[in-house]
Amino acid sequence: MELDFEKSLTYISKDPGWVNKLLAGAGISLAGFAVFSIPLFAYLFSSSAIIAVLSFLLSFVCSIILYLLCTGYYAQTGSRRINFSNSFLPDWAELGKLLKTGLKYNIGLFIFILPVLIGSVIFLAALTYLIAHKGLLHPAGFLFMTLLGAIVLLLHLLTYVFCPLMMANFFKDLKILSFVNFKEAFAMLKGNVGNYCILILLYLALSIMLQIAFSVLFMTIIGLIFVPVLYFYIYLVSAELTAQFVLCAKEKQQDAPVEEQ
């Protein structure tokens, strides 16, 4: 089994209710950004800083909830494609389930990227101290910052490269610690490195295509309507591609003993 990009673009159409589910996801994604306009209008109409602050806090909470719903839907889509053949898209009526999955997804992702976050904070703190006390061109300090910067840069690179792999591992069982179960995740790479390289390249291609499409759609008011729809559609396409990678890995793992015999 190999990654099928064409299938990833069309699989959602097999769900009889795919149009409504896609539009609902697009609407929720748009609402996640739109809620931040509430504090502005609240301040303009009330001229009260207190009301503006309270409305901002409310908007912030609402945006987090909406974001969790979208990421939960994304993870549930990938998980269904892995564990249930010919599965349909998740139902938006399962709000509690989607919120729980979204929360687990983001906690797991945060744990995974924590080393690079800590490294970045240490680098900024060391840079601030060097500038304030020694000067940026201090020989020993400059050498130390160069070495530290290289380490942090490497952490960033490794995080970006292996994030799809750990995300795929999470999709299999939707467990938080699957995001840092490196042994199980790297087992999927055995005999499947080519598909993973293709997966990363397709991710990059989708990102570039999305940026180009956005630059065109933003030129007209009518085009703006399609931005959240396209955004959420690409979201679902990437979930399918990730699920395909996991299924490819499972197939190769099942075939491996037969080949050895």
Q: Give the model's pLDDT for residue 261.
A: 37
3-state secondary structure the chain: CCCCHHHHHHHHHHCCCHHHHHHHHHHHHHHHHHHHHHHHHHHHHHCCHHHHHHHHHHHHHHHHHHHHHHHHHHHHHHHHHHHCCCCCCCCCCCHHHHHHHHHHHHHHHHHHHHHHHHHHHHHHHHHHHHHHHCCCCCHHHHHHHHHHHHHHHHHHHHHHHHHHHHHHHHHHHCCHHHHHCHHHHHHCCCCCHHHHHHHHHHHHHHHHHHHHHHHHHCCCHHHHHHHHHHHHHHHHHHHHHHHHHHHHHHHHHHHHHHHHC
Number of domains forming the structure of the chain = 1
132 vs 195, more confident: 195
Q: Give the model's pLDDT for residue 257.
A: 56
pTM attached to this predicted model: 0.87
Domain that holds residue 255: 5-260
Across 174-188, 214-228, 247-261, least confident range: 247-261
